[in-house]
C-alpha cells in the first residue's frame, strides 16, 4: 500500500458508483441476505451526548458552555429556534434512560460528560459535587444493570470561559484539557473502562472554527480550522498519555478518539485523486497523525496548503507544522479507531472546479482541498436528506482502515438515520439493516471491529437542526413537560438483533406488545 495521502489499496477496489446510483439496494449485496449472524464478541450499544439530552442547563452549580451562551444570545441559531435548556431532561430522567437501555438489551451506553457541570470555573480548582453525583448515579445505575459506560470527555460543549480565552485556538488548551481529563479519571475511572477523548474533530474545527455551522461559528476558513486541528490533536494526545501513564496500570481501561468519516467515492476513474484528497482533508488529517505508520499530517495536505500559502504571499504555511517531538507524541495515541459514519458522497474535480477555486485569493480550506462533491438523489430514503443511504460506503471506509492503518481495532461509535418523527420508522429500519450488513461484510473481509453504536438512544437537540431532525430509537415528546419516551419500530428491531445476535432482514415486530426487559 501507499501512504501519506496518495492512492492506496482502498481506492483500487472496483468502482461501484454507476450501478449504485440506480439500484442502491443491491450495492455490495445488501439485499442478498435473509439472515446473518453477528459475532458473539461484538459489543452492541447506543449513544447520546450531554448538551443534546441533559437539559438542566444552569441547575445545581453548572456554568455556561458555548452553546448555552451562544443560543441564549442568538435564539434562532437552530432552524426551529429551539435550544438545549431542557432537551430530553435526562439530568432528572436518567433512570428512565437506563431502563430503555435495558429494554434494548445493550452491552454498553455511550454518553458524554458536561465539562461545566463538573467544573464550573472551567478549571479543576473547584469540583461541583452535584455534577459528580449525577454522573456517579448514572454510571452506577448502568453497572447495576450490566451495561458498560463508554464515556466521552468532550462532545463539543466547550466551557464559555475557555472559549473567551480562545478555545481550541489557544495553545494552553492542551494543558487545560489534560487537567480536565486527569480529574475525570480520578473521579470515575474506577468504574469506567472505555474512554473517548474527543468526538468528531473535523466538525469541531471545520464547522465551528473554519465555518459558522457550529458554535463558536468563527468562520475563519483555512486559518482557524488548521490551528484548531493541531491543538486538538495535541490535547487528545495529552489526555491519552495522562491515562496511559498514570491510570491505566490500576484502572486497566481503553482510551481512544472518535473521528467522523464520510466516505468520498470517485465519480469515475479520472477522479480517483479528487476522492483521495476529499478523504484526506475531511478525516485523514486527524487519523493519519495517530494511526499511520510514521505519523504526521498526510503529505498531500502539507504540500497543498504550503503551496497555496506561498502563492498568497504568506511567509509560512497556514497549516501549523508538527515538530518531530509533537509527531511522536501524537502518533499511536489511541487504543482503537473510534468511527462515526452516517453517509458517503461522490467526489470530482473538473475544469469548473479549478476555475471556481482559482477565484479564492485568500485562505480557504475548500480551495486547499480543491474538490467538489454531491450525493445523488437516488440515495435518499425517507423525509430527511441528512443521512443518505449508501451502505457500500461504510464497507469501503472500513476497508480503508484495514488496508491503510494496519487493521487497527475499530469501535463504531455512531451510526444512525435522521427522520422527521413517527413511531413506524421503516426507513430507519432499512438504514440500520443495510449498514449493519455492510459492517458484517467488512468483518467477513477481515476488519477488526469490536463495537457498534446506534445513534441515538432517543431524540435529542440536533445542533443547528434543533428538534426538526430525529435520530432516536425512542421518540421523545418535546411538547410534553414530562418528556415521555416511546420506542419506535427501530427499537424493536434493534432489540431483536441484540437478543438473537442475528440480522434478520425480514423480521417484523409486534409493536402492540410493550418493549420490556428481562429481570436480572
Q: How far is CA 434 from the centre of its chain?
A: 19
Q: Which of 414, 462, 469, 475 is flagged as catalytic?
A: 414
Our answer to whether residue 414 is catalytic in this structure is yes
The three grid cell numbers given for residue 395, joined into one nine-digit string: 464497507
List phi, psi (to 5°) of 279: -65, -40
Alpha helices of 405-502 — where are they, by DSSP H? Answer: 426-444, 489-500
CA distance 377 to 355: 26
Report the Cα–Cα distance between both ends of the chain, in Å, rounded: 49
- Strands, E assignment, 28-87: 35-37, 43-47
CB atoms within 10 A of CB 298: 23
Q: Determine whether 438 is exposed, middle or buried from the number of CB atoms within 10 Å of its CB (0-12, 13-18, 19+).
A: buried
Closest CA to 466 of 66, 53, 83, 48: 83
Q: Which of 200, 262, 326, 475 is flagged as catalytic?
A: 200
Q: Is the peptide bond between 456 and the residue preceding it cis, with omega within 30 degrees of 0?
A: yes
Task: Name the strand (E) or helix (H) holding 169.
Answer: none
Are 404 and 284 a contacting pair, CB within 8 Å? no
Q: Which residue do the cell numbers 450531554 mark? A: 50
Q: Is the dihedral of CA 279, 467, 197, 304 positive or negative?
A: positive
List phi, psi (to 5°) of 505: -70, -15
**Parallel/antiparallel/unpaired status of strands 344-348 and 372-374:** antiparallel
Crossing angle of helices 173-188 and 129-144, rounded to 10°: 50
CA distance 152 to 33: 35
CA distance 283 to 292: 13
Contacts 24+ apart (CB under 8 A), 430-436: 430/381, 430/389, 431/381, 431/387, 431/389, 432/490, 432/493, 432/494, 433/30, 433/493, 433/503, 433/505, 434/25, 434/30, 434/389, 434/391, 435/341, 435/391, 435/394, 436/38, 436/497, 436/503
Whole-number Cα distances in Å, 312 to 164, 218, 220, 296, 355: 30, 21, 16, 24, 17
Q: Determine whether 256 is exposed, middle or buried from the number of CB atoms within 10 Å of its CB (0-12, 13-18, 19+).
A: buried
Question: What amino acid positions are annotated as catalytic residues?
Answer: 200, 414
Amino acid at each position: 500500500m501507499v501512504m501519506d495521502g496518495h492512492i492506496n489499496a482502498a481506492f483500487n477496489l472496483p468502482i461501484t458508483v454507476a450501478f449504485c446510483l440506480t439500484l442502491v439496494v443491491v450495492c455490495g449485496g445488501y439485499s442478498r441476505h435473509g439472515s446473518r449472524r453477528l459475532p458473539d464478541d461484538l459489543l452492541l450499544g447506543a449513544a447520546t451526548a450531554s448538551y443534546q439530552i441533559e437539559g438542566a442547563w444552569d441547575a445545581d452549580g453548572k456554568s455556561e458552555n458555548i452553546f448555552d451562551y451562544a443560543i441564549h444570545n442568538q435564539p434562532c441559531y437552530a432552524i426551529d429556534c429551539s435550544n438545549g435548556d431542557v432537551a430530553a431532561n435526562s439530568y432528572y430522567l436518567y433512570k428512565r434512560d437506563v431502563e430503555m437501555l435495558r429494554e434494548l438489551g445493550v452491552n454498553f451506553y455511550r454518553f458524554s460528560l458536561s465539562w461545566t457541570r463538573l467544573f464550573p470555573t472551567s478549571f479543576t480548582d473547584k469540583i461541583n459535587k452535584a455534577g459528580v453525583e449525577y454522573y456517579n448515579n448514572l454510571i452506577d445505575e448502568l453497572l447495576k444493570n450490566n451495561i458498560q459506560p463508554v464515556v466521552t470527555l468532550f462532545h463539543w460543549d466547550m466551557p464559555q470561559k475557555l472559549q473567551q480565552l480562545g478555545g481550541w485556538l489557544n495553545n494552553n488548551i492542551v494543558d487545560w484539557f489534560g487537567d480536565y481529563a486527569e480529574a475525570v479519571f480520578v473521579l470515575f475511572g474506577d468504574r469506567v473502562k472505555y474512554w473517548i477523548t474527543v468526538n468528531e474533530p473535523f466538525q469541531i474545527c471545520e464547522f465551528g472554527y473554519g465555518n459558522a455551522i457550529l458554535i463558536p461559528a468563527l468562520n475563519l476558513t483555512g486559518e482557524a480550522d488548521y490551528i484548531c486541528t493541531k491543538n486538538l490533536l495535541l490535547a487528545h494526545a495529552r489526555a491519552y498519555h495522562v491515562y496511559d501513564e498514570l491510570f491505566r496500570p490500576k484502572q486497566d481501561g481503553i482510551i481512544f478518539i472518535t473521528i467522523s468519516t464520510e466516505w468520498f467515492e470517485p465519480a469515475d476513474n479520472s477522479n480517483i485523486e479528487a476522492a483521495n484528497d476529499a478523504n484526506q482533508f475531511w478525516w485523514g488529517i486527524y487519523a493519519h497523525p495517530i494511526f499511520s505508520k510514521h505519523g504526521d499530517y498526510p503529505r498531500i495536505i502539507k504540500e497543498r496548503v504550503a503551496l497555496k500559502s506561498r502563492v498568497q504571499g504568506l511567509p509560512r504555511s497556514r497549516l501549523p507544522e508538527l515538530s518531530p517531538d509533537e509527531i511522536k507524541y501524537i502518533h499511536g495515541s489511541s487504543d482503537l479507531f473510534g468511527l462515526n459514519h452516517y453517509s458517503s458522497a461522490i467526489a470530482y474535480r473538473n475544469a469548473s472546479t479549478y476555475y471556481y477555486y482559482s477565484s479564492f485569493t485568500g485562505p480557504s480550506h475548500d480551495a486547499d482541498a480543491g474538490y467538489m462533491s454531491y450525493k445523488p438523489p437516488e440515495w435518499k430514503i425517507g423525509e430527511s436528506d441528512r443521512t443518505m443511504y449508501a451502505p457500500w460506503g461504510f464497507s469501503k471506509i472500513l476497508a480503508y482502515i484495514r488496508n491503510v492503518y494496519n487493521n487497527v481495532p475499530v469501535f463504531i461509535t455512531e451510526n444512525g438515520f435522521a427522520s422527521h418523527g413517527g413511531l413506524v420508522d421503516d426507513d430507519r429500519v432499512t438504514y440500520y439493516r443495510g449498514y449493519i450488513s455492510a459492517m458484517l461484510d467488512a468483518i467477513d473481509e477481515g476488519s477488526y471491529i469490536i463495537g457498534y453504536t446506534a445513534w441515538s438512544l432517543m431524540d435529542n437537540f440536533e445542533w443547528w437542526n434543533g428538534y426538526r431532525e430525529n435520530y432516536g430509537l425512542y421518540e421523545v415528546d418535546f411538547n410534553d413537560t414530562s418528556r415521555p419516551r416511546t420506542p419506535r419500530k427501530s427499537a424493536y428491531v434493534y432489540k431483536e438483533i441484540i437478543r438473537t445476535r442475528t440480522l434478520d432482514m425480514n423480521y417484523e415486530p409486534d409493536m402492540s406488545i410493550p418493549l420490556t426487559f428481562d429481570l436480572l
